[in-house]
Amino acid sequence: MTTHPFENVTHVASLGPVLDRLGTVFRTFDEQDSGCVSYGLLASGQRWFVKTSSTRKGISSLRRAVSFHQRVSHPAIVPLVHSFTTGDGLVLVHPWMSGEVLYHPTLSRRGGRAAPGSPMARFRAQPLARIHTALDSLLSAHLAVEEAGFVAVDLYDGCMFYDFDEHRMMLCDMDEYRAGPFVLEADRLPGSTRYMAPEEFVRGAVIDIRTTVFAGPGAPSAPGRRRPGEAVARDGRATGGRRDGDLRRPGAPLPLGPVPRRGLAIGRTPPRVGPASAVT
């Protein structure tokens, strides 16, 4: 079991004084659209990622995360080591991992996937064998997700965390993953449209393992795969540009063939948009 500085913390009135007492905050993430605020904390010579929210939306996501991590564990998933409540919210504690998320949108900044020097551009410039290894890690993690009875929700490149020194891919920020199958009771699920399955936009649709397959590493939207209409440099790497005459929506996922048989077995059939009675 991982030891951490929050061992005896179960409830505090306010998070700030506890962070100050336990260590030094070296980074703050306070521009996320999730309603959560996160901190990098250095305590007792180790670094931790501390995530909190006091909003209804954020607390709901963090509660889902606790439930998810109680049932799902995998070497490629950043683990949850502790959680506790505050006077107005919930706090999760993860180990701080070396690396960078492939895409990090904030309230004040969007875009930049194809910008030279961006994490996504650097990842896509890796040798093909490293990209395959990274995607294999994502696929293996989602086999564990399936085994535990969960469905991927809000899976996109902002959940994919790559260590360019160790060449290791991890998954983080899986707060929206849910036990499934389930029926969508809203007009859409949260997520990046370039990664989302058609049924995620249909109230009353069944969300199941096929939804995970659509968004997963075998999908057209997976990092490292060239998007439709994207130009290719002489060395075979995607440049992020578009070919003249290609009128498709940028990033729109298009079928590129069947899901590899090494992937999730149920994914061989297309996503289902059906009545609620289909869920048993």
- At 238, the pLDDT band (50, 70, 90 cuts) reads very low
**Interval 105-109 mean pLDDT:** 63
**DSSP label at 270?**
P
Domain chopping of the chain, boundaries: 23-95
> What confidence score (pLDDT) does residue 108 get?
61
What is the spatial distance between Cα 76 and Cα 176, in angstroms, rounded to a whole number? 17
Give pLDDT, residue 34. 77
Check pLDDT > 50 for residue 248: no
Distance, CA of 274 to CA of 154 (rounded, Å):
21
CB proximity list for 271: less than 8 A, separation 6 or greater:
197, 198, 199, 210, 211, 213, 214
Q: 7-24 pLDDT, tens per residue?
A: 989 999 999 999 999 999
Sign of the CA dihedral with 107 first, then 109, 112, and 116 last: negative
CA dist 161 and 170 (Å) reads 5
For domain 23-95, the CATH superfamily is Phosphorylase Kinase; domain 1 (3.30.200.20)
Give the pLDDT band of residue 123 (cuts 50, 70, 90).
very high
Gap between the Cα atoms of 105 and 220, Å rounded: 21
Tokens of residue 41, six digits: 């904390």
The pLDDT of residue 264: 46
pLDDT digits (tens, 9 = 90+) for 168-197: 999 999 999 999 999 999 999 998 888 899
| pTM (2 d.p.) | 0.78
Q: Which residue has the tokens 């149920």?
A: 266
| Residue 1, pLDDT score | 56
Nearest by Cα to 8 from 69, 70, 82: 82
Instruction: Report the SS3 class of residue 153.
Output: coil
